[in-house]
């Protein structure tokens, strides 16, 4: 997390991220799922404006799956204005076209702007509307910008918690920086060319011994080229070379010593 | 969607994307939520390996919220091998470290590779494990690569449908290309400098008329500089200029004609 914003950290020791403000959420399940996704992706400041069911709620707790941490600290407000009053920057998450002149960004751009603002000590938030109607214009107008998650226009209605998850995921990607490809298990490294050539020579010697090319000696070079290319389709690790040499040794050892007959005649 | 892969399209007319393969999913709700997220982000090929509850299931249907489309075409298999047999490339979605040498990619990189492979006519898929235990090693080893969604290490257990949603979101971002900032409402354009200068001159003329600078004539230039900068914090649109000129006109019109007293004395 080399690029994490300097400065404020939240109660969980995470770099302070944007507040997630759910306006008039209907289903406690979605509040719980949103809390879980938030904590998965390093967000902890959950604010609820007039939730339809009472809050706290056992169904929110159940869906949070251990992110009760976030639910316990969630604050409930009577109005969107009150919920966002302390914030310096506010985005409205909505996909609907509004008869409103307001800049619209994708999640990645919005999160990058939010991250930059947080670094300077500003507080930021993202508004999400209710499951049934989304954000009302009277809420959207409170925000400076709109953030729109790009979706299939043929089926564009995102679940509320999924929408929170996508923004939160982008937040964590921003914090963590783009992950580089790596190997899942650390005790290896790419094989050197010398190790790879050693494997080829070992294999080719044993194939010669076994009479692999005996019937088609003029094709030997072409076949060796194919074999070498086959074995190099992916990056060979030092462990791959050891594994493959072990296989060659074991298979070669099974032939009757001094005899080439098994392969030739089989 | 200028960058959409050429070639195959799925039954919904969308560019063919990776198959989503859920291995031993426990909760029909998660199957439904995954189907909804898939269709939101343009994926339609859902495959289930030994779902714990019967399938189809009414709770899956309920959570799919209209993506029954995807559920109806979902296929159920007895083994992961059977479910992925026709695919050319397979990724295993898992965050757990495995005692296994396998390349690990983030969602964005994996989806870009999948998109490139799909363009050449290959079929691709992503494996997801069950809610309780995730993917078993015997499933992970079927895949060429691992895709890991970056998460908060302090709370890393993602909901199954959320994990599908994140990969599917990256897929749609890949298809659609990075969204540029735009305005939510098309009938406008950035104001020209001439229009902006016209606003400034109009406002300054009215302020002079109203005696705004009368008590501090030596500060007039500095105040004008501040006003001009304040009005240019964000990009001014042609409609902004019209709106602001309307405000100036109306406010100026409310003064008693010929009198500067109201502002000066108030």
Q: How far is residue A44's CA from residue B152's CA, in Å, rounded to a whole number?
A: 11
Q: How far is residue B148's CA from residue A138's CA, in Å, rounded to a whole number?
A: 39
Contact (Cβ atoms closer than 8 angstroms) between residue A144 and residue A90: yes
Q: Enumerate the residues of chain A whose CB falls inside 8 A of the CB of residue B166.
A: 165-166, 169
Percentage of chain B surpassing pLDDT 90? Answer: 66
Q: Enumerate the residues of chain A whose CB falls inside 8 A of the CB of residue B150.
A: 172-173, 176, 179
What is the DSSP secondary-structure string of chain A?
A: -TTPPSS-B-TTSSBP--EEEEES---HHHHHHHHHHHHHTT---EEEES-SS-SS-HHHHHHHTTTHHHHHH-EEESSHHHHHTT-SEEEEE--S--SS--EEE-HHHHHHHHHHHHHTT--EEEEE-BTTTB--HHHHTTSSEEE-----TTS----HHHHHHHHHHHHHHHHH-PPPPEESS-S--BPPHHHHHHHHHHHHHHHHHTTTTTT-GGGHHHHHHHHHHHHTSSPPBHHHHHHHHHHHHHHHHTSPTT--HHHHH-
Secondary structure in 3-state letters for B203-243: HHHHHHHCCCCCCCHHHHHHHHHHHHHHHCCCCCEHHHHHH
User: Per DSSP, what are the bridge partners of residue B79?
Assistant: none
Contact (Cβ atoms closer than 8 angstroms) between residue A154 and residue A119: no
Percentage of chain A surpassing pLDDT 70? Answer: 90
pTM confidence score? 0.85
Q: Enumerate the residues of chain A whose CB falls inside 8 A of the CB of residue B242.
A: none
What tokens appear for B68 in the block? 């029954």
Extents of the domains making up chain A: 15-176, 193-253
Record: contact B41-A183, CB cut-off 8 A: no
> Nearest CA to A168 among A114, A90, A204?
A114
pLDDT, tens digit, for every residue of B127-153? Answer: 999 999 999 999 999 999 999 999 999
DSSP conformation class of B127: E
The angle at the Cα of A258, spanning A256 to A261, to the nearest 5 degrees, equals: 60
**Choice among A226-235, B18-27, B40-49 with the minimum mean pLDDT:** A226-235
Q: Enumerate the residues of chain A whose CB falls inside 8 A of the CB of residue B161.
A: 162
Q: Is the pLDDT of residue B71 over 60?
A: yes
Q: Enumerate the residues of chain B whose CB falls inside 8 A of the CB of residue A178.
A: 106, 108-109
**Choice among A184-198, A206-220, B10-24 with the minimum mean pLDDT:** A184-198
pLDDT classification of A1: cutoffs 50, 70, 90: very low
pLDDT, tens digit, for every residue of B92-104? Answer: 999 887 777 788 9
pLDDT, tens digit, for every residue of B169-181? Answer: 999 999 988 767 7
| pLDDT at residue B235, rounded to an integer | 80
| pLDDT at residue A125, rounded to an integer | 97
pLDDT, tens digit, for every residue of B159-218? Answer: 999 999 999 999 999 998 876 777 665 667 888 889 999 999 999 999 999 899 999 999
| pLDDT at residue B136, rounded to an integer | 94
Please give the average per-residue pLDDT across A85-108, as a whole number.
Answer: 89
Mean pLDDT, chain B, integer: 88
Record: contact B98-A159, CB cut-off 8 A: no
| pLDDT at residue B255, rounded to an integer | 63
| pLDDT at residue A13, rounded to an integer | 78
Q: Is the pLDDT of residue A172 over 80?
A: yes
> Nearest CA to B8 among B94, B102, B88?
B88
| pLDDT at residue B264, rounded to an integer | 43
Torsion angle of C-alpha atoms A86, A59, A133, B63, degrees rounded to 10: 140
Instruction: Determine which of A62, A96, A155 to mutate to test the interface with B (most B C-beta atoms within 10 Å).
Output: A155
Q: Is the pLDDT of residue A2 over 60?
A: no
| pLDDT at residue A9, rounded to an integer | 78
Closest residue on chain A to B97 (Cα): A184
Contact (Cβ atoms closer than 8 angstroms) between residue B184 and residue A100: yes
* Residue A111: C-alpha distances to residues A108, A166, A202, B49, B173 (Å): 5, 11, 54, 36, 15
Residue B188 near chain A (CB below 8 Å) = yes
Output b/e per residue, B109-122; b: 16+ Cβ within 10 A. Answer: bbbbbbbebbbeee
Measure CB to CB from residue B239 to each of A14, A39, A101 and give the nearest one.
Answer: A101
Q: Is the pLDDT of residue A256 over 70?
A: no
| pLDDT at residue B189, rounded to an integer | 80
Relative orientation angle of helices A28-40 and B160-176, to the nearest 10 degrees: 70
Please give the average per-residue pLDDT across A49-67, as a whole number.
Answer: 96
Distance of CA B161 to the CA centre of its chain: 17
Q: How far is residue A90's CA from residue A87's CA, in Å, rounded to a whole number?
A: 7
Q: How far is residue A160's CA from residue B63's CA, in Å, rounded to a whole number?
A: 12
Please give the average per-residue pLDDT across B80-84, as a whole number.
Answer: 96
Cis omega (within 30 of 0) for bond into A147: no
Say which residues have a Cβ less than 8 Å from residue B242's Cβ, sequence separation at least 6.
none
Q: Is A231 exposed, middle or buried (0-12, 13-18, 19+ CB in 10 A)?
A: middle
Q: Is the pLDDT of residue A4 over 50?
A: no
What tokens appear for A150 in the block? 């790009």
DSSP conformation class of B132: T
Closest residue on chain B to A105 (Cα): B181
Please give the average per-residue pLDDT across B225-249, as a whole number.
Answer: 88
Measure CB to CB from residue A40 to each of B97, B148, B158 and give the nearest one.
Answer: B158
Q: Enumerate the residues of chain B whose CB falls inside 8 A of the CB of residue A65.
A: 157, 159
Record: contact A182-B151, CB cut-off 8 A: no
Please give the average per-residue pLDDT across A189-210, as a whole number.
Answer: 91
Please give the average per-residue pLDDT across A187-204, as a whole number.
Answer: 88
| pLDDT at residue A184, rounded to an integer | 63
pLDDT classification of A264: cutoffs 50, 70, 90: very low
pLDDT classification of B259: cutoffs 50, 70, 90: low
| pLDDT at residue A252, rounded to an integer | 86
pLDDT classification of A146: cutoffs 50, 70, 90: very high
Taking the CA of residue B197 and the nearest CA in chain A, the distance in Å comes to 21
Mean pLDDT, chain A, integer: 88
Query: Residues 236..255 of B with a Cβ closer than 8 Å to A: which?
Result: 237, 239-240
Closest residue on chain A to B107 (Cα): A179
- Fold (topology level) of A15-176: Alpha/beta knot (3.40.1280)
Q: Is the pLDDT of residue A50 over 80?
A: yes
Query: Residues 101..160 of A with a Cβ closer than 8 Å to B: which?
Result: 101-106, 108-109, 146, 148-152, 154-159
Instruction: Determine which of B43, B131, B135, B155 to mutate to test the interface with A (most A C-beta atoms within 10 Å).
Output: B155
pLDDT classification of A265: cutoffs 50, 70, 90: very low
């Amino acid at each position: 997390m080399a690029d994490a914003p300097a400065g404020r950290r939240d109660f969980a020791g995470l770099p302070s991220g944007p507040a997630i403000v759910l306006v008039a959420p209907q289903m406690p399940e979605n509040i719980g799922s949103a809390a879980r996704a938030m904590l998965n992706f390093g967000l902890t400041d959950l604010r609820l404006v007039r939730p339809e069911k009472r809050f706290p709620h056992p169904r929110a707790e159940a869906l949070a799956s251990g992110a009760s941490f976030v639910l316990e600290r969630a604050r409930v407000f009577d109005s969107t204005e009150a919920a966002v009053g302390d914030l310096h920057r506010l985005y409205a998450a909505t996909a609907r076209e509004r008869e409103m002149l307001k800049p619209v960004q994708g999640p990645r751009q919005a999160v990058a702007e939010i991250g930059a603002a947080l670094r300077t000590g500003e507080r930021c938030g993202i508004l999400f509307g209710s499951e049934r109607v989304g954000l009302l214009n009277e809420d959207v107008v409170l925000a400076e910008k709109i953030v729109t998650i790009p979706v299939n226009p043929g089926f564009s209605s995102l679940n509320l918690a999924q929408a929170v998850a996508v923004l939160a995921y982008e937040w964590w990607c921003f914090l963590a920086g783009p992950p580089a490809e790596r190997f899942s298990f650390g005790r290896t490294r790419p094989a050197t060319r010398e190790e790879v050539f050693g494997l080829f020579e070992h294999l080719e010697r044993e194939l010669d011994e076994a009479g692999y090319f005996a019937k088609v000696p003029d094709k030997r070079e072409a076949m060796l080229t194919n074999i070498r290319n086959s074995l190099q389709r992916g990056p060979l690790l030092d462990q791959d070379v050891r594994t493959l040499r072990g296989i060659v040794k074991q298979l070669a050892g099974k032939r009757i010593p001094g005899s080439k007959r098994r392969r030739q005649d089989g």
